[in-house]
Amino acid sequence: MGKVPWLEVFSVRNGVRHLLGAGAGLLATPLIAAGLLYVAGGRALAPWMAAVALGATMVLVGVLAGSRVSPIGSLLPGLALAAVAGLAYVPGVSVAGLLPAEYAEPYAGLAGTWALPVACVLLAASVFPARWRAAVRPEPQAEPEEEVPEPPPLPKRIPSRY
């Protein structure tokens, strides 16, 4: 048995990777929305708190858009934020009437500022076909064959006793 590289220990099969990505996307969707609502709603106690919240939200978006994270992880929050932004621009649809009064203004701020750009980044990161394929596993190297020692060459002339 050969040595196992450290990165191979952490690799998972493609189906498991997509399942974990879906879980990450479902967990990240409310976190991204909360971070953007905190910034867009103007509820920050200090300007530096809003900057930290926006930075943390963008780090989370960057992790989801990363190359080896499943694209489902960026697809789910991207679709949710695209729906939020899209409903704001559809005439005749009033989402503010469905929300509690205290969330109507932050929702309008979120839908009009950060939702569409972040949704575009997340959806664009999900489009690349390379992210849907499994990682290429290196082929195990063949062990070198053992060298068999050769017998010494025979003499050219066999001496005789006579």
Per-residue tokens: 24: 């990450």
The owner of tokens 């899209």 is 86
pLDDT at 87: 86
Could you report the per-residue pLDDT of 101-131, keeping only the tens digit for each? 887 788 888 888 889 999 999 999 999 877 7
The owner of tokens 């989801």 is 64
Confidence at 7, pLDDT banded by 50, 70, 90:
very low
In the predicted model, is pLDDT for residue 135 greater than 90? no
> Who has greater pLDDT, 50 or 44?
50
Per-residue tokens: 119: 């949704």
Over residues 81-100, the mean pLDDT reads 83
Closest CA to 75 of 122, 16, 134, 24: 122
